[in-house]
Structure 1
Amino acid sequence: MLRRCVFLMLLLSLAACSNGRKIDYSQAYPEVPKTFAKAVDVQVIDERPYVLSGNKTGHFVGLIRGSYYIPYDVNTRSGEPLAQELQKSLLGGFERKGVKARAVDSKVSQASSADAMLLSIRVREWKSESFMGVVLTHALTADVFDSRGQRLASVPLQGSSSVYDFTDSGKTILSSVLARQDVQKALNGEQVEVVEAAEIEAGSVRRDPAGLFTPPVARDGVF
């Protein structure tokens, strides 16, 4: 009887671990502050170094720590790349506001027509970490291009904080992109001056240690 109880507890523990290793960002619909005079082409490009190097796949979104602080990968619930899930969320946010929007692939470098603007999100970091607490660290750059390929806005955004709901956290991050006045003006066709591309320096993205309570000598687990 005792052996059966131990076996059942082990199965439940494994199931909980498995369920905790999937996150859905596809419905993290951002708040769109206004309607725009132009349609929006939406592009999300995954530039996370460990994905570009092949160390992690595109559907990797974080780490969960087990015994002895051993890291296990957390992936998207759908199995789709993170870039695709974030793109779906942005499209959903625009559609809910009544803004005409469509998905474009990562190779596009200009808006599809004079009546549209290209919103390009370059993701430098997007990773949750769970141990004694959960934090989500992000770094991304939002660029807006017109139909001639001119960059009319370029905004870097980054941060790291405790997570209580991954969908809400994703929504907050994407909403902060659309809350920027320069992004709004560019999407609405008001901005006409060309700007330089904003870049996030390598090594500048730091995990918030306060919400995680990790051992001081622990390694990241992502290379």
Structure 2
Amino acid sequence: MSFKSLCVAFGLTLSLAACAVGNTVDYRDVVPPLGVSGSKSVAVEAVDQRPYVLAGDNTPQWVGMVRGGFGNPFGVHTVSGAPLSSDLTQSIIDSLKQGGVKAVPATARMATDRTLLVTIKNWKSDSMVTTSIYIDAEAEVRDQAGTVLARNSVQERVVNEGEVAVLPPGKLERAKAVFRRLMDQLLNSSIRDALR
């Protein structure tokens, strides 16, 4: 390999590494319109139970990694700077409010007709040549008495292929689109019906 080829390869590696640093993604709008309307009030809470967050290996704002040219990982965090659970709680509240539902964070400690609890057991993306998306989450709706009216879970690993020429910001937007689809599956018709 010539010196010029080595310089080009080194330059490409440095540019890939530079693109991998300081990435963020906005999950505040990841919940699609739920199409729920009615007079019931709903308390919403997303709880982060990711083992790597509970163990202190990652912060609650951590949502994945982008790997540099040598495969070295750089963390990806929420663009808001808030924990992922806070962004998801707000996203669900905003989606319910679109239908006129009175939705509040469960931390507001208001008496509501329904409680929607989303437990996040895994939520991360891992990007280099391709992007792998991991989710393990459960949604549960309870009435005022605490009776479970509906429950659903999603456990998936999705690999976005054909991303060789896509820079990290584009890969993160593609991962976000997958998470949006998976949240639509999690908050399925049985969950939505129980919120009405």
Please report the TM-score for the alignment, with normalisation by the length of structure 2: 0.78
User: Residue 43 of structure 2 aligns to a residue in which SS?
Assistant: strand
Matched, 1:16 2:19: yes
- Contact 1:142/1:177, CA 8 A, preserved across alignment: yes
Aligned equivalent of 1:211: none
Structure 1 residue runs of 5 or longer lacking an equivalent are 1-5, 189-223
Aligned equivalent of 2:51: 49
Aligned equivalent of 2:113: 116
User: Residue 69 of structure 1 aligns to a residue in which SS?
Assistant: coil
Percent identity over paired residues: 28
User: Residue 183 of structure 2 aligns to a residue in which SS?
Assistant: helix
Matched, 1:30 2:39: no
Aligned equivalent of 1:71: 73
- Contact 2:42/2:101, CA 8 A, preserved across alignment: yes
- Contact 2:44/2:117, CA 8 A, preserved across alignment: yes
Aligned equivalent of 1:203: none
1:62-118 deviation line (CA, Å, top 9, x unaligned): 01112332222111112110101111111121122222211123xx9xx843x5200
Give the deviation of 1:122 after TM superposition.
Answer: 0.3
Aligned equivalent of 1:214: none
Tell me how far apart the structure 2 counterparts of residues 86 and 173 of structure 1 sit (CA, whole Å).
13
Aligned equivalent of 1:133: 130
> Bigger shift: 50-59 or 67-76?
67-76
- Structure with higher helix content: 2
- Structure with higher strand content: 2
Give the deviation of 1:12 after TM superposition.
Answer: 6.1
Over 4 Å off, 4+ runs: 8-15
1:110-153 deviation line (CA, Å, top 9, x unaligned): x843x520000000000000011112110101011111222222
Matches within 5 A, 1:141-220: 141-163=138-160, 165-181=174-190, 183-188=191-196
Give the deviation of 1:36 after TM superposition.
Answer: 3.5
Change in Cα spacing, 1:49 to 1:64, as seen in structure 2 (3 Å) is same
Change in Cα spacing, 1:10 to 1:138, as seen in structure 2 (3 Å) is closer
User: Residue 68 of structure 1 aligns to a residue in which SS?
Assistant: coil
- Contact 1:27/1:167, CA 8 A, preserved across alignment: no
- Contact 1:30/1:93, CA 8 A, preserved across alignment: yes
- Residues paired across the two proteins, number: 178
Tell me how far apart the structure 2 counterparts of residues 47 and 185 of structure 1 sit (CA, whole Å).
26
Tell me how far apart the structure 1 counterparts of residues 56 and 47 of structure 2 sit (CA, whole Å).
15
